[in-house]
Amino acid sequence: MSRRNRPLPNYEKVEITDAAAEGKCIARIDEKVIFVPFAAPGDVVDIQVVKKKRSYLEGRITNFHTYSKQRREPQCSHFGLCGGCKWQHISYDNQLINKQKQVKDNFERIGKVQVGEFLPIIGTDNEYYYRNKLEYTFSDRRWLTTLDTPKEEGGPQETNGLGFHLPGMFDKILDIEHCYLQKEPSNEIRLAIKAFAIEQGLDFFNARNHEGFLRNLLIRTSTIGELMVIVVFRYDDLDVKELLKKIEGKFPEITSLMYVINEKQNDTIWDLEVKLFKGKPFLLEVMKSPNSNPDLKFKIGPISFYQTNPEQAYKLYSTAYEFADFKGDELVYDLYTGTGTIADFIARSVKKVIGIESVEKAIEDAKENAALNDITNVEFFAGDMVKILNPEFLSINGKPDVIITDPPRAGMHEKVVKQILLAEPQKIVYISCNPATQARDISLLSEKYDVVKSQPVDMFPQTHHVENVALLIKR
């Protein structure tokens, strides 16, 4: 038998030792690491290897011998199939412990930098229903699970579904009954739209053939009770207005009802016209300000970015604010400013804030939000960070006293790190949604900076994701 056709091994009574990347856990077998989904540290299990790589293995649990003390019963009936909430089976206290360890390991193993103090992770009061935005997909190929009765035995005669993509499957949708991520009426709206669409015989999208009428559903909420619903159709039709009228009548609490016609091959709508059917073209969000300043107001349009967990976002920004310890006379650069939420959050406590962001639409939103809050000491620039943040820019706008940087998951380009080193701010407050790339960047910055402290913040309960704020002080 060739090596290629040799069956992959099954290992018995293996102890899961630790949490790892992408929500998986790890065990060690014959000095090799094996990554296992839906495990918990402390489980003793049998593992069937499903993939063999040169330096690691991937496997799945086939049998439990001992259940970890970290385990609990998942609340969601879709757990294990849906691509989100992969840690629902781990108690929340242990989720926090694992996330704290993840941050520390990244700094010590990837960054190889000394951190003055690792502060205990800031958890949330709301493990569930914390997201202010969800996007669902219509599909005529919903995934039939083992819980479904076969068609031959009187089971589902149609396969229309409205839910989330199954991991790794662009054309298969897991039909969702109840999602624990967004508060009501999110589930009620989704189920009502699906029921009406099936009742009226509306075609659900087929991603393989690029056919069908109904494509996507977006639901956004704000902490002050505003509600935005966007329905995405493949083409315009009399049924568009009929469906929207049905939604309007059943859910009068919707403050922004909108729709999009998307004829493209992909689901993105940022480059398409979002049409208003009823209400306002934006949501209003309110966030408390630091230092007893007036509350901040933010207009959130249909494609605007805003932190998806607003309650924890306040804790995240407050941590960054405390780390910066502003005296009132600072020039601050806010890198990757997005729609200017951090810039506005700190503006009343400093001399001036300069925000830089690559997405022009985000900068338009940032300017509008600053005006909405009567904040006049902010200035925003749109463009590629690598090209904008250069010696000429520093010469014209002044060298910053403090830099706050909140880059995407990929972290900062090495050229941006070098420009920060040239700018030599006294303090850098680095906010990251990926402690691995944060640790990599901070390793480069350690040429001139000491890492004084690190503060993880849990923005996404039930997942392995964690935000981290690090304070760097120039030596």
The least confident of 73-82, 146-155, 234-243, 295-304 is 146-155
Whole-angstrom distance, CA of residue 269 vs CA of residue 262: 7
DSSP per-residue codes, 342-380: HHHHHHTTSSEEEEEES-HHHHHHHHHHHHHTT--SEEE
pTM value? Answer: 0.92
- 10-71 and 133-284 have identical folds: yes
| Bridge partners, 71 (sequence order) | 90
Q: What is the pLDDT of residues 184-205, one digit of tens each?
A: 999 999 999 999 999 999 999 9
For 298: left if phi > 0, alpha if psi spans -120 to 50, otherwise beta; the answer is: beta
Q: Would the pLDDT of 457 be above 60?
A: yes
pLDDT at 169 over 50: yes
Instruction: Give the right CATH number for 133-284 from 3.50.50.60, 2.40.50.1070, 3.40.50.300, 3.40.190.170.
Output: 2.40.50.1070
Active site residue 433: yes
pLDDT at 248: 97
What is the spatial distance between Cα 356 and Cα 342, in angstroms, rounded to a whole number? 12
Reported as a pLDDT band with limits 50, 70 and 90, residue 129 is: very high
pLDDT at residue 255, rounded to an integer: 98
The position carrying tokens 């964690």 is: 466
The fraction of the chain above a pLDDT of 90, given in percent, is 86
The pLDDT of residue 6 is above 90: no
- Residue 73's CB is within 10 A of a number of other CB atoms, namely 7
The percent of residues above 70 in pLDDT, for the chain, comes to: 96
Q: Over the stretch 207-232, which tens digit does the pLDDT of each residue have?
A: 989 999 999 999 999 999 999 999 99
What average pLDDT does the segment 448-462 reach?
97
- The domain locations on the chain are 10-71, 95-127+309-474, 133-284
User: Per-residue pLDDT tens for 29-87?
Assistant: 888 899 999 999 999 999 999 999 888 999 999 999 999 999 999 999 999 888 789 99
Q: Point out the catalytic residue in the list 76, 82, 179, 433.
A: 433
Q: What mean pLDDT do residues 340-353 have?
A: 97
Asked whether residue 3 carries a pLDDT value surpassing 90, the answer given is no
Rounded distance between C-alpha atoms, residue 176 and residue 136, angstroms: 9
pLDDT at residue number 154: 57
pLDDT of residue 150: 47
pLDDT surpasses 50 at 24: yes
Residue-wise pLDDT tens digits, 277-330: 999 999 999 999 998 889 999 999 999 989 999 999 999 999 999 999 999 999
Give the model's pLDDT for residue 159.
Answer: 85
Neighbour count for residue 128 (Cβ, 10 Å): 17
**Is residue 374 over pLDDT 80?**
yes
Write out the CATH class of domain 10-71.
Answer: mainly beta
Rounded mean pLDDT, 254-268: 96
Half-sphere exposure (CA, 13 Å, Cβ side) for 45?
A: 27
Residue 206 has pLDDT above 80, yes or no: yes
pLDDT given at position 171: 78
Mean pLDDT to the nearest integer, 133-153: 74
CA atoms within 13 A on the CB side of 20: 17
Question: Given a cut of 80, is residue 421 above it in pLDDT?
Answer: yes
Say if residue 156's pLDDT is above 50. Answer: yes
Average pLDDT, the chain: 93
Q: Which CATH number is 95-127+309-474's, of 3.40.50.300, 3.40.50.150, 1.10.1060.10, 3.30.460.80? A: 3.40.50.150
Burial class (CB within 10 angstroms; exposed 0-12, middle 13-18, buried 19+) of 179: buried
From residue 316, how far is each of 7, 208, 289, 311, 384 by CA, in Å? 48, 41, 12, 9, 25
Asked if the model's pLDDT at residue 381 lies above 70, the reply is yes
